[in-house]
Amino acid sequence: MAQIFQVIVNALSLSLIYILFATGLTLIMGIFDVCNFAYGEFVMVGGIATYLIVAKSGLPYIVAPFAAMIIVSLIGIIFEKGIFYPMRNRGGLEPALATFGSSTIMQTAVLILFGGMPLGVPSIMSGQFKIGSAYFPMDRLPIIIGGFLMITLLFLFVQKTKLGLAIRALQQDQDAAALQGMNIASIRVVVWVVASCLAAVAGVLLSSISYVSPTMGSGYLLKGFAVVIMGGLGSIPGALVGGFVLGFVDSFGQTYLGSYSYMFAFAFIMLVLIVRPQGLMGKR
């Protein structure tokens, strides 16, 4: 029983990282119909910002997410203005390849600037509290709180604000949205900023339980795409459900099946797609 509780705690924190990762990816895929292969590097830049602010400068942790969101948003805007907007009429392949190249450039730049050593960041909280015979590691608490907070803010933004409404309109039909007089170019920038903020916070939270390195985001990219496909391309609720499903499958799988869980997780996704090819929350 204690072990089950422990696995659930692990699964919750893992799911929330997957969700933060996948919601940003799905937003971009839903609006632009393009895979952003550099999204893992957005997360990595969030981690680097945390390292510089917390480990190097000794500033309070609370500064890290805000600074990371500003830095990663600027990178997102550069991507939109430099790659995605100029290539908006060239289909999905060319911008996707451009993001692939950008991913390598960003990794190499960080390698040159910071070296290849794993960069340690102190945990936001340390220690643990005991519930029965199970332990709740305190470093998971900020991930759970931060993850839920970001998801709630995203939900409120998309569902309750005019900009959110505009994003949803853009997701459904960009031409129709433009005919309604919407400033498409500005809304595209907002989408990038939102997706970048989600990646930045994922980077901040991930660096507190792991270490920062040039390739820290690429390991999560495959899982992020898996969540997006399982949840349904472009669907934010789908990313939520998919993230929780994959987080729990992964956590239980790794605990009870060891490293074979990778195979188990992807077999599960294949099963979902056989039954529902449009994904858990996708529309036909």
Partner 1 sequence: MKKGLCSFLILLLAVTLLAGLVTGCSSSTTASKEQVITIGVDTPLTGGAAPWGLSEMHGVTLAADDFNSAGGLTIGDTHYTLKVEALDDAYDTAKATNNINQMAYTDGVKFMFTFQTEGSLALAPTLTNMKILNFTVVNDDRIIAQPADAYTYRTYMGFSVQANDYLAWMKKTYPNDKSIAVLTTNDTNGNVTEASTKAAAAAAGLTYLAPVFYDTGTADFSPFVTKILNEKPDIILTIGDPTGDVGLIAKTLNGMGFKGIHATGIVGAADLLKIAGQAPIEGMLTLNMPLIPGGQVSSAVLGLPAREVAHSGSAWGTAYCCTWDFYSEAGIMFDAMKQAKSVDPTVVKAKIDQSGAKFNYAAINNGIATFGSPASNAIFGANGGHQVTNSWPIDIIKNGKDTIGTIITPK
Residues that bind partner 1 (CB under 8 A): 3, 6-7, 9-10, 13-14, 17, 111-112, 115-120, 122-123, 126-128, 130, 135, 137-140, 206, 209-211, 213-216, 219-220, 250-251, 253-256, 258-259, 261-262
Alpha helices in 161-235 (DSSP H): 162-172, 174-179, 184-209, 218-231
Altogether, the residues listed in the chain come to a count of 284
Contacts of residue 235, defined as CB under 8 A and 6 or more positions apart, other chains included, come to 26, 30, 279, 281, 282, 283
Closer to partner 1 by Cβ: residue 33 or 139: 139
Interatomic CA distance for residues 73 and 99, integer angstroms:
16
Query: What letter represents residue 265's amino acid?
Result: A
Provide the minimum distance between the beta carbon of 69 and partner 1 in the complex, in angstroms, as a whole number: 21
Provide the minimum distance between the beta carbon of 17 and partner 1 in the complex, in angstroms, as a whole number: 8
Q: Which residues pair with 136 in a beta bridge?
A: 129
Provide the minimum distance between the beta carbon of 251 and partner 1 in the complex, in angstroms, as a whole number: 5
Provide the minimum distance between the beta carbon of 110 and partner 1 in the complex, in angstroms, as a whole number: 10
Give which of 47, 12, 67 is closest to 204, Cα–Cα: 47
Interatomic CA distance for residues 32 and 95, integer angstroms:
10
Which is it for strands 134-137 and 119-120: parallel, antiparallel or unpaired?
unpaired
Closer to partner 1 by Cβ: residue 74 or 123: 123
Q: Which residues pair with 131 in a beta bridge?
A: 134
Provide the minimum distance between the beta carbon of 100 and partner 1 in the complex, in angstroms, as a whole number: 18
Q: How many CB atoms lie within 10 A of CB 94?
A: 13
Tokens of 214: 């040039």
Give which of 102, 97, 90, 82 is closest to 192, Cα–Cα: 82
Provide the minimum distance between the beta carbon of 116 and partner 1 in the complex, in angstroms, as a whole number: 3
Provide the minimum distance between the beta carbon of 51 and partner 1 in the complex, in angstroms, as a whole number: 10
Closer to partner 1 by Cβ: residue 84 or 220: 220
Closer to partner 1 by Cβ: residue 30 or 243: 243
Closer to partner 1 by Cβ: residue 83 or 246: 246
Closer to partner 1 by Cβ: residue 130 or 284: 130
Closer to partner 1 by Cβ: residue 39 or 192: 39
